[in-house]
Structure 1
Amino acid sequence: MHAHRPLIHAMIAATAALASSIAFAHPKLVSSTPADKAEVAAPQKIELLFSESLVTQFSGANLVMTGMPGMASHAPMKMAVKVSGSDDPKAMVITPAQPLPAGSYRVDWRAVSSDTHPVTGNLAFTVK
């Protein structure tokens, strides 16, 4: 009967390790459309795909125009956007209120999954 004890302890340790890795997992940005550092035509929407399902009421994003052609000293300008989820619970969709003019942009995002710890990041793209 005591011969099974090491096996039981190993199973308990493995289960605890798995549970702790799940509990402390944070959403990571897997991909974006447009991609980071891409040069694109003005997108109608920006989509971010994460490694985990998001809690939409705590997740969000800002879109900032960081540069405009011919204006070397263009101050960063926050753009009006609507941020929403999608059919995919791991996706965040950022829809500009108006078509984006040529220039450089930065998306500052905040993702919260079931572990409730916010993860932030950004990506940049250029509109031709």
Structure 2
Amino acid sequence: MSLFKTTTLAAALTTGLLLSAAAQAHPKLITSNPADGSNSVAPAKIELHFSENLTTQFSGAKLIMTDMPGMPNSPMGIKATISGSDDPKTMVIKPASPLSSGSYKVEWRAVSSDTHPMTGNFSFKVK
């Protein structure tokens, strides 16, 4: 193999590795508390744990009640504060008042140092 072909191949492999590493740098939701699909008592706070440190000024979430006894299919935003935590990979949602029985959805937006926003959602129920 000629030196030119070897150098070209090495450059292509290095570029591929760098691009794949950059693609993995987006924050992904690893776990949440309460967990997706759970049914439990009303949480005092909701924690979202991501794979990357968050840029808090560009990250956020909405807490939405999607169903409650006597009021099916009536999505309603729930007042809550959204903040970071001591762990830079964690987002915390604190409802302004205790959550009542019903179904809830969290819609989140996470931005890490690569500035590429990732979005997602999960749902849980309160007994």
Would you say same fold, with TM above 0.5? Answer: yes
Provide the aligned length of Structure 1 versus Structure 2: 126
Aligned residue identity for 1:119: M
1:29-40 superposed matches below 5 A = 29-40=29-40
> In the aligned structure 1, how far is the partner of 2:42 from the partner of 2:91?
18
Tell me the secondary structure at the aligned position of residue 99 of structure 2.
coil
> In the aligned structure 1, how far is the partner of 2:106 from the partner of 2:7?
48
Q: 1:53·1:113 contact (CA, 8 Å) conserved in 2?
A: yes
**Structure 1: gaps (5+ residues):** none
Deviation per CA, 1:57-115, whole angstroms, max 9, x where unpaired?
Answer: 10000000011113235x21101111111111111111111111111000000011111
Question: Is 2:109 the counterpart of 1:96?
Answer: no
Q: What's the RMSD between the two structures over aligned residues?
A: 2.0
Match of 1:60 in 2: 60
Match of 1:127 in 2: 126
Deviation per CA, 1:25-78, whole angstroms, max 9, x where unpaired?
Answer: 3211111000001001000110111111111110000000011113235x2110
> In the aligned structure 2, how far is the partner of 1:13 from the partner of 1:86?
40
**Structure 2: gaps (5+ residues):** none
1:44-123 superposed matches below 5 A = 44-73=44-73, 75-123=74-122
Q: 1:102·1:127 contact (CA, 8 Å) conserved in 2?
A: yes
Aligned residue identity for 1:111: A
- Identity, in percent, stands at 57
> In the aligned structure 2, how far is the partner of 1:11 from the partner of 1:81?
52
Tell me the secondary structure at the aligned position of residue 123 of structure 1.
strand
> In the aligned structure 2, how far is the partner of 1:53 from the partner of 1:68?
34
> In the aligned structure 2, how far is the partner of 1:87 from the partner of 1:123?
23
Match of 2:27 in 1: 27
